Amino acid sequence: MFAERIRYENAAFLVFDKPAHQLVHPKKPDGSITLWHQLSDLLAYERANGGQVSVITRLDRETSGLVLVAKTRESARALHRLAKTRQLHKNYLAIASGWPEPDEFEVDQSLLRQGTVKPSRIWLKQAVHPSGYPSRTRFKVVQRFENAYGKFSLIDCEPLTGRTHQIRVHLSFAGHPIVGDKIYGPDETCYLEFIRAGWTIALAARLLLNRQALHAAFLEFTLGPDHFRFHSPLPEDLQEFRNQKESRKAAKTPR
């Protein structure tokens, strides 16, 4: 099952289609199995012969989609250089609340960690602030739809800078937060309640999805003489939400 999620592989890198809720990197020594651990096991032969596992495009735990992983020191340096110089192009699909107007818009708002300018109960929470780092995201509405819960939009998101939680904060700032976002959605207390008690019926009623509806769908870059382009379709849980006609019971989610 794990190997089937590798969308492409050559001697220099691989592209993995990460499911939602999978942690990419170890955060604390609690024994959690991460994508890095699984890839390290899968590439044990390569690592024993001078290779490495270097994640180039990281995703939040709840975000699904394409992850680019370098397999050698040389390819890691080259791919990091592409990312740093904005030659590694990434687009995401998000399901957001409401129907934005116009169909295409850009958010150009600086971001920083909220706790640096005012008290914050969530250490990693980012905020729009004039003294923050320059941050720009382009958005394009792909589809507007209504389901049992209201009006929503499927939006193509192109981050022009690479700040923490950038797409999530910018859509929330625009008045169209991502469905299921525990930090930037209805209220940050959703995140605090989730940390305290896990996924509950009350949270399901407020968030509608047990994870943020954000998917890394497109990846494009040129490495050496070769041009690469990868696409990951909208995953089943987000398709199901888009087509939902009736209210449903709370789904279970991993902690």
Q: State pLDDT tens for residues 147-165.
A: 989 999 999 999 999 999 9
The verdict on 115 and 56 lying in the same domain is no
Closest residue by Cα to residue 152 from 133, 180, 131 = 180
Of 60, 85, 110, which marks where a domain is finished? Answer: 85
Catalytic choice (17, 30, 41, 60):
60
- Mean pLDDT of the region 191-208: 96
Q: Is residue 187 among the annotated active site residues? A: no
Amino acid 29: pLDDT: 64
pTM of the entire structure? Answer: 0.92
What CATH number is attached to the domain comprising 44? 3.30.2350.10
The verdict on 52 and 100 lying in the same domain is no
The verdict on 181 and 143 lying in the same domain is yes
Of 33, 51, 85, which marks where a domain is finished? Answer: 85
Residue 63: domain span: 1-85
The verdict on 98 and 223 lying in the same domain is yes
Which residues touch 10 (CB under 8 Å, ≥6 apart)?
none
Chain segment 69-83, per-residue pLDDT in tens: 999 999 999 999 999
The verdict on 138 and 196 lying in the same domain is yes
Domain total for the chain?
A: 2
The verdict on 238 and 128 lying in the same domain is yes
Which tokens hold the place of 222? Answer: 């040129």
The verdict on 137 and 156 lying in the same domain is yes
Phi, psi of 161 (to 5 degrees): -130, 175
Chain segment 28-53, per-residue pLDDT in tens: 666 678 999 999 998 998 999 889 99
Query: Burial level of 242, CB count in 10 A (0-12/13-18/19+)?
Result: middle
The verdict on 143 and 175 lying in the same domain is yes
